[in-house]
Amino acid sequence: MPKPFPMRPSNFRLIPELVGVHLPKASGTYALVIHIDRGSLVSVGALGQQPFDRGWYIYCGSAMGAGGQGLRSRILRHLSKSKKKRWHIDHLLASEAARIHMVFFAKSRSNRECDLAKSLLRMNGSDVPVDGFGSSDCRSDCPAHLVRLHFRTSDEVEEALAEAFRKLELRYRVLKS
């Protein structure tokens, strides 16, 4: 099993794994590859207590804000352990069982998180673990922006996610632990 990203305080200049990694300040779309190492019950804000089985999950998001609130800020926020729980994903990532293993990201001028989530949901071996997770503000009728992939290895997950980004013609990069 791959080693997860270190979950340390939010001063990311001190994290050696990110030194030299260029995270763009531009707008774009990203996907967090999360592994849950044991079944857990997680309180997910307004969605209440939700069960999460052991396995691989992909959270699809976007960072479309102006003024330096692009991909860099959003991805670093997700990697930070000390943050206010603002979104559904913050609650899941606060669980001791959940670890980020990879981050895919692509610069884009338009919000493609819905397209990415729908593309993943069309794949064999995928499902929606929690209705409405991450899609409260979705205008595209997505059932959720969190997708469960019933794959065994991180390599299978990486291949599936790379395929989804390619189908959307998004030039992606990957951060791995």
pLDDT at 61: 95
Provide the residue range defining the domain that includes 104.
Answer: 23-176
Contact 92, 52 (CB under 8 A): yes
Distance CA 23, CA 26 (A): 9
Sequence-separated (6 or more) residues with CB below 8 Å from residue 132? 47, 143, 144
pLDDT at 24: 87
Q: Is residue 109 part of a domain?
A: yes
Q: What angle do CA 73, 79, 83 make, to 5 degrees?
A: 80
Q: Is residue 166 part of a domain?
A: yes
Report the number of distinct structural domains present in the chain. 1
pLDDT in tens, the chain (177 residues): 444 444 333 333 334 455 446 788 899 999 999 999 999 999 999 999 999 999 999 999 999 876 667 998 899 889 888 888 989 999 999 999 999 999 999 999 888 999 999 999 999 999 999 999 999 888 888 999 999 999 999 999 999 999 999 999 999 999 887
Q: Is residue 105 part of a domain?
A: yes
Tokens of 131: 């209705």
Q: Is residue 12 part of a domain?
A: no
Q: Is residue 102 part of a domain?
A: yes
Q: What angle do CA 148, 44, 155 make, to 5 degrees?
A: 25
Q: Is residue 99 part of a domain?
A: yes
Q: Is residue 15 part of a domain?
A: no
Q: Is residue 1 part of a domain?
A: no
Do the bridges between strand 172-176 and strand 98-107 make them parallel or antiparallel, or are there none, so unpaired? Answer: antiparallel
